[in-house]
Structure 1
Amino acid sequence: MPKFHPDRTVLVLTEHRDLQRVLTELTAMTPEAGLREAADWIETLPPTDSDGIADTLNALASLSECVQPHLRQITASFVAASLARNLGRHALWRLARRYADMLAGRYAELLQILEELASPPAGLLTEVVVRLMRVCCVAQKLDALHYTPCEPAHWALLGRAWRLAEAHGVGKRPVRIRINRPTETTFETEYLRSVALASAALEELDEAQIDQTARLIHYVLPSLRLDPHPNSTALLWINPAQGTAPASMTRLPDTPPSGALYFGSGGAVATLTEMEKLMREGMIPTAIGLEGQGAALRFPPLLRHLIRHWSGQAPVRRHRRYPLTGKIRVLNGVEALTDQLGGEVSPQVALWDQIDASMQGVGAEVPSTEAANLLVGTMLGLHSEEGDHWIVGVLRRLSRQKSGTTRIGIELLSWRPLSARADDGVRQTRVLLLDPLHQGGKVRLALPIAVFRSEAPLFLIAGSRTIKLGSPALVERGLDYEIRSYVVGAGTEDQGEH
C-alpha cells in the first residue's frame, strides 16, 4: 500500500474535491512515483454501473491528463537508458506498461457497459472509444519499444470498439481528449494511428527511432489513408469489425471480405521525402521535436526507412534464406571486434543459436535475458563453428518471443574484415577495414562514432608503411559505429586480399 494515502477509501475520485486533491499531489511527484501512484488509483477505482459512466470517465481522463508529462518523461528516460545500455531501463518500461494496462482495462470495462445498453449516449460512447483507442496506441508503442510483437488481444479489443462505434454512428464524431488543448480527434483517426504503427516495421528500428516514429506518425496522420476500396498503393488490409491484425496485401483473399479496409500512405511519402531533403541540406524540422544531436543523426535513416516501407511496394528479401542451424560466437560492438582482430585484448564472447542464413544475412535466436542488452543498429562480430575467421554484421531486426527467446536478424557487411590503425593528423585509433585495399579504388572503414574529423583524409598505418585515404563520405551511422568510404590514394600499392 503506498504511503501517499494509507486508506484509499477515505477519498472518492468521482467526487470533485477528492479528485482535485489527488491530481494536485500527483503533479508534484516525480515521474516514477506519480505514474505508479496513478496506476494504483486507477486499479482501485470501484466498479462502475451505467449511471456512473460519466463520473468514472471524468476521473480516468483527469488522471490521464495529469500524468501525461510523467509518462513522456519516463518514455524519454527509457530511450536514453537504452542507448546507454542501462539494464535499469526495463523497470521504467514495466512501470509505463502497467499504467497503460490499468487505464485500458478500465476503459474496456466502460466499453462493456455501453455494449449492453440499447441506446448508449453518443457523447459518452465517443469519448470512451476514442480514449480507449488512444491508450491502446500508447501500449502498442511501449510494446514496440520493448520489441514485443503486438498481441492479438490488442486488435480484438479495438474490434469491439469499432463494432460499437459503427453501430451507433460515432466513428467520425470529433471529440477533444486533451483538456487544455483545442485539438479534436475521432475514433477512426485513432484507429488509423494504430494501423500506421503496425505498418512501420518498428522491429527494425532502435528505441529512439521508434519513439520518433510515433511522433512522426502523429505529424503525418492527416495524410494517411484507410480506404474501403483497394488500389495500387495499398500497403496493408484489415477488417476492423473482425478484430484481427493488419495483413500484407499479398495475403488478401481473392474475394476480399466485406468490411475490409486498405491502408495507404497517401501524401505522407512526399512529406517525408521533402523532410529528408531538408535534413540533407542541414535544416532540422522543428515540428517533430528532435532533442539533441544524437536524435537528429538518427532521424534521416528513419525517414528513409518509412519512405521505403510506405512507397507502395513492400520491401522484399534480395536473397532467399535457408535453414542453417549451429552455434555462432558473437562480439557485441565495433570496439570489441577491432580489439579482437587487432589481438589487443580478449573480449567477452557470447554463444548464440543460428537458425537460418542467406547470402547477406543471418538469423539467430538467443535467450531474452542474454538479449536484454542488445540494440538494433549495433555492430556485431560473428564466428561460426566451421569458420576460420570473423565476419562483420549489423543487428537489423529484434523480436521478443513468448517462448522466452529473442529472434535476431543480422545483415552481413564484410566477410573478411581487418583491424588496422588510422590517423587523421589529430587522433589515432583502431578501425575495421571492410574491403580489400586497391590502388585508386574505394574502401569502407568502420570506426567508433565521431572519432575522426569528417572531412579529413586518413592515414592507415600498415607495418612500416603509411597509406593515404582521401575523399571521405559517410555511408552509414549506427548506434556505436560509423561506416565511411575512402578513396585509396594514387600510388598506393595494391594490397589484394589481406
Structure 2
Amino acid sequence: MAESPPVVTAASDHPLADPAGLRLALTAVAGVNPFKAVDALAGWLESLADSRSWRVDTLFGVLCALEDAARAPLAKLTRDYLWAPNLSRGEERRLASLNSDVWGLLVSRYEACLLRLESGHLEPGMGTLAAHLPVLVARLLHAQGALMRWSRYRYGPIAGDAWRRLGWAYGIAEREGVAAREVRLGPDATGVTSPVAEYLRVLILATSAPDGLRPLEIDLADRLVVHFLPHFHFSRESGADSVYWVDLALPEPPTRLAQEPLPAGSLRFFSPGNVLAAVQALIAQVELGHLPAQCDLDGRVTSALLLPVLQHLVVHWAPVPPLRGQQRHRVHARMAAVVGWESCCQVFSGASEAQVDKAASWVVEDISLGGCGASVVGREETLRVGTLVGLLPEEGSAWLLGVIRRYGRESDTVANVGVQTLSRHVQPVSLRAQGGERYGVVVAAVGLWLRDASRGNEARFVMRPGTFAADMPLETVIQGARVVLAPAALEESGSGYEIGRYRAHRAA
C-alpha cells in the first residue's frame, strides 16, 4: 500500500478537516487508475485512526465523502476480480486485500462515530450526527456486509465478532425507532435502503449456502437478495412461518429454527414469506432468455449464469431444508488428491509413483455414494467451488473423479470441502471433430469418459472449455471401434473444464 498521509491528533491540522482540503483530496483520485484511487483513499482512512479531536459530525461527513469517492473504483476492482478469466493468484490476493482493507477501515471508522454517539457525552456535533443516525447505521451495516462478502469470495471464515457488531449497530437503530427509515447511500445511489434492509441482506446471504457457489455466483446471489428483499419477513416474534433466528447480542450467524431458542429480548426471526413464488416466476422468465431489467446485474450476466443461482436460492430459501441424496457415514481416512484439469488428466492417463507422492493428502471425514466431505490442511490456492479433483483412497488402486461443490476455510491453512463424485470409472479418450478438416479442427483433444455416469447410447465426457459445440459432432475410438458423438447438451462449465453429454453410435 502507498505511503499513508500522516496521522495527526488535532483535527484542525488534518488536511481533510478543511473543506477545501477535502475537495482537493477527492479531486486527486477522480478518474485515476482504480488501484491508485483506492490505495489513496485507504491511506486517508488510515490517517483518521485517532479522530477524537474531530467534531463527530464533521468526521462523519468526511467518511461519507471518502466512501462515495471509493465506490466506483471499488466496484471496478470487484468486477476485475470476479470476471477476469486468468488472474494470477498474486493478483487475486492483491484485489481481495485492497477491497477488504477499505471496507474494514470504513467499518472501524463508522463504528467509532457510533460509539461516540452512544457514549452519552455532550460534545459539539452530537445533535447533527444523531439526526443522521439512520444513514450512519445503514452505511456501517453496508460496509460490514461488503467486508463479509469479500471473505465469502475467498471462502474465508466469518469471525463471530462480526455478527455481534452487526447486531449491536442494528439494535441501536431499532431502539431509536429508525431501523426502517429509508435513506440513500450517497448522491449517486440508484435506490433507497434502510438499516433493517442492510442487516437482513447480510442475514439472508448467510443462510443461502454461499459456500456452494463460485465467487461470481456469490455476487449474483447477493444482488438477487437485494431484489427479493421486500418478500422476506423480519420480526421480533417467532411466527408460524419463521424459518431462521438470530440473536443481536451473540457472536453467531443466523440459524435455522429447528427448535425454539431460549427467550431473549435480543432474538429476531425471519422467513422467506412469499419469495419462492417470486423466484419461480423469475426463473420462468430467465428460461425464456429474458433477463430482469429491474435487477442490478452486470451487463455481462447471461441467462446461463443467472439460472443456476436462482435454482440454488429456491432450494435454500425453502421452509424445509434440502435433504441429502444419500446417507452419509462418518469415517476418518486419507485420500491422495490432485487438483485441476491438467493434474486429473495425468493421473487418469496413468499416474507414476512420483505423481502420487506429490499429491496432497486430504482427511476424509464423511462419505456417501455421491461424494465425500474432507478436511484440507495447507495453503491450496487453487481450490474453490467448481474445481475438478482426482481422489485416490488410501487403500485403493483406482482414482475417482469429482468436483468441489462446497468449500469453506476455517483459517488460512485449514479448509473443509464437499466433493461430488462424477465417476469412479474414468477412461481418457482422444476426441476429434468429425470431418476435422471441414471444421478447421485437426488436433485431437483429450477427454475423460465418465463410464459409470453414461446411460444407454448417451455418454458423458469431461473436456477442456470450448470443446463442446452444439453443431459439432465429435469422434473417438472406444475399445478399438470408431464412435461418432452427436452433441446432446452442455451440462456444466466449471473451473477449467466442461462436461458434455453426447449420443454415441458406431461410425459407418
Letter in 1 for 2:92: R
Report the Cα distance in structure 2 between the residues aligned to 1:196 and 1:475, rounded to whole angstroms.
29
The aligned amino acid for 1:431 is G
* Distance of aligned partners of 1:180 and 1:446 in 2 relative to their CA distance in 1, 3 Å threshold: closer
Deviation by residue 1:396-442 (Cα, 9 ceiling, x = unmatched): 11111137312221111111111112333244422112125989443
Matched residue type, 1:373: T
The answer to whether the 8 A contact 1:436-1:443 is kept is: no
User: Equivalents in 1 of 2:458, 2:239: separation in Å?
Assistant: 43
1:53 Cα offset (Å): 1.7
Aligned length: 489
Question: Does the aligned pair in 2 maintain the 1:233–1:311 contact within 8 Å?
Answer: no
Partner of 2:169: 161
Deviation at 1:210, TM superposition (A): 1.4
Distance 1:249 1:392, change over 3 A: same
Read off the aligned partner of 1:210 and give its amino acid letter: I
1:496 maps to what in 2? none
1:366 paired residue among 348, 363, 376:
376
Aligned partners of 2:290 and 2:303 also within 8 Å: no
Residue 188 of structure 2 corresponds to which residue in structure 1? 180
Label 1:471 to 1:102 Cα distance change in 2 as closer, same or farther (>3 A).
Answer: closer
Shift of 1:111: 1.1
> 22-31 vs 278-287, which deviates more?
278-287
What's the counterpart of residue 386 of structure 2? 377
Q: Which is worse superposed, 220-229 or 130-139? A: 220-229
Deviation larger for 439-448 or 344-353: 344-353
Q: Which residues in structure 2 correspond to 1:51-70 (within 5 Å)?
A: 52-70=55-73
User: Greater CA deviation, 227-236 or 66-75?
Assistant: 227-236
Deviation larger for 68-77 or 277-286: 277-286
Residue 125 (1) aligns with residue 133 (2): yes
AA of the residue aligned to 2:406? R
Aligned runs of 1:320-339 on 2, under 5 Å? Answer: 320-339=327-346
Alignment pair present for 1:485 and 2:501: yes
Aligned residue for 2:416, secondary structure, equals strand
Alpha-carbon distance change, 462 to 2 in structure 1, aligned in 2, over 3 angstroms: closer
Moved more, 259-268 or 299-308: 259-268
**Residue 231 and residue 422 in structure 1: after superposition, are their counterparts in 2 closer, same or farther (change >3 A)?**
farther
**Taking structure 2 as the reference length, what is the TM-score of the superposition?**
0.87
Give the 3 Å change call, closer, same or farther, for CA 110–203 of structure 1 in structure 2. Answer: same
Contact 2:4/2:44 (8 A) holds in 1: no
2:399 aligns with one of 372, 390, 393? 390
1:283 aligns with 2:290: yes
The answer for the alignment partner of 2:416 in structure 1 is 407
Deviations 1:173-210 (A, max 9, x none): 22222223463221111111111121121111111111
Contact 2:469 2:487 (C-alpha < 8 Å) held by counterparts: no
Q: Secondary structure at the match of 1:73?
A: helix
Contact 2:201 2:229 in 1 (8 A): yes
Aligned partners of 1:368 and 1:272: how far apart in 2?
Answer: 39
**Partners of 1:224 and 1:265 within 8 A in 2:** yes
> Which stretch of the first structure deviates more once superposed, 146-155 or 342-351?
342-351
Comparing 15-24 with 398-407, which one deviates more in the overlay? 398-407
Structure 2 letter corresponding to 1:198: A
Name the structure 1 match of 2:23: 20
Q: Quick check: 1:241–1:259 contact (8 Å CA) kept in 2?
A: yes
Q: TM-score, normalised by structure 1?
A: 0.88
| Residue in 1 that maps onto 2:308 | 301
Q: Which letter does structure 1 place at the counterpart of 2:371?
A: G
Give the Cα–Cα distance (whole angstroms) in 2 for the partners of residues 75 and 447 of structure 1.
Answer: 29
Shift of 1:83: 5.8
Answer yes or no: is 1:421 the counterpart of 2:437: no
Superimposed CA distance per residue, residues 272-304 of structure 1 (whole angstroms, 9 cap, x where no aligned partner): 3233333332334443424447x6543221111
**Quick one: percent identity of the two aligned structures?**
25
Matched, 1:44 2:54: no
1:87 to 2:90 alignment: yes
Unaligned ranges ≥5, structure 1: 493-498
